[in-house]
Amino acid sequence: MPKTILVTGAAGGVAGYLRREFGQVYALVLSDLRIIDDLGSNERFQAADLGDIDALRALMPGIDAVVHLGGQSVEGPWDAVLDRNIVGAYNLFEAARLEGVNRVVFASSCHAVGFYRLDETISADAYFKPDSRYGVSKVFGEALGALYADKYGFDVLSIRIGNVAERPVDRRRLTSWLSPRDLAQLVRIGIETPRIGHQVVFGMSRNTGSCWDNAAAYRLGYAPQDDSMDHADSIDRSPPDPGDPAQVYQGGPFVLAETGGDPWKR
């Protein structure tokens, strides 16, 4: 019998890649506020609001592991970050605990450490330097992962996702690009690896020259297949402007996004 995996935020872009890459490997319960109607034979949809713990509990029967992609995925107004990523993440972990599901793959983000500079190399145990309220909420999610692992025996893989796309799109994301098939491999590690407790890895491909040292992922058996530098010819790699924080820091435009601001329209 294939495992049954609950995917939250299942109408989003990252989940779309994951569904494609997983194919028929797992039975998938897809949850989101937005209805998904292009279901495969191994998929079913069940709506739930991350603010509604009873609705989240109702998702859990029969689930072997949760892939928690749901919530606010960029900087936003504090109320949205609070409701979706602080209260919502707590509700998700608590619903899992109450229903006896004890494995979570948590979609953290590189923005938990976005105020490190692009010219310094960090590993996954570097202390937090969030670049936004959104980044702070991802730190909170990782902290929940640690708490539920240590207190309740959960296995949690927090993946600090860079940017999932078919190709890296700019100079900063040569460091942080995660190809869809490497994403799927990392998530599978989080689903399948016995007794991992809580671990944090970078969600990146095998990107030559990246400012992230992903030894923590390699120790879990991660063997990424893609390298952003194979696509570097199409990207402007002129030296960064040292006076522009968005070009200096790993978080890029998120370091400048003010509350409620869209980091891509600074």
> How far is the C-alpha of 225 from the C-alpha of 207, rounded, in Å?
10
Q: Which of 72, 79, 76 has its CA nearest to residue 258?
A: 76
Report in angstroms how near the CB of residue 61 gets to ligand 15L at its nearest. Answer: 29
Nearer to ligand 15L, 42 or 73 (CB): 73
Nearer to ligand 15L, 163 or 205 (CB): 163
What residues have CB less than 8 Å from 247, skipping those under 6 apart?
A: 118, 171, 172, 240, 241
DSSP at 46: -
Report in angstroms how near the CB of residue 221 gets to ligand 15L at its nearest. Answer: 25
> How far is the C-alpha of 8 from the C-alpha of 29, rounded, in Å?
8
Report in angstroms how near the CB of residue 135 gets to ligand 15L at its nearest. Answer: 8
Q: Which of 159, 156, 8 has its CA nearest to residue 91?
A: 8
Please compute, for residue 70, the number of CA atoms within 13 A of its CA located in the half-sphere on the CB side. 30
17 belongs to the catalytic site: no
What residues have CB less than 8 Å from 11, skipping those under 6 apart?
A: 30, 32, 33, 34, 35, 36
Report in angstroms how near the CB of residue 54 gets to ligand 15L at its nearest. Answer: 27
- DSSP strand E in 32-99: where? 43-45, 65-68
Q: For residue 6, what are the β-bridge partners?
A: 29, 66
Report in angstroms how near the CB of residue 252 gets to ligand 15L at its nearest. Answer: 6
Nearer to ligand 15L, 5 or 161 (CB): 161
Binding site for ligand 15L (CB under 6 A): 73-74, 109-111, 163, 173, 252
Give Dmax over CA atoms of the chain in angstroms: 56
Nearer to ligand 15L, 27 or 74 (CB): 74
- Catalytic site residue from 17, 116, 134, 148: 134
Catalytic residues: 134
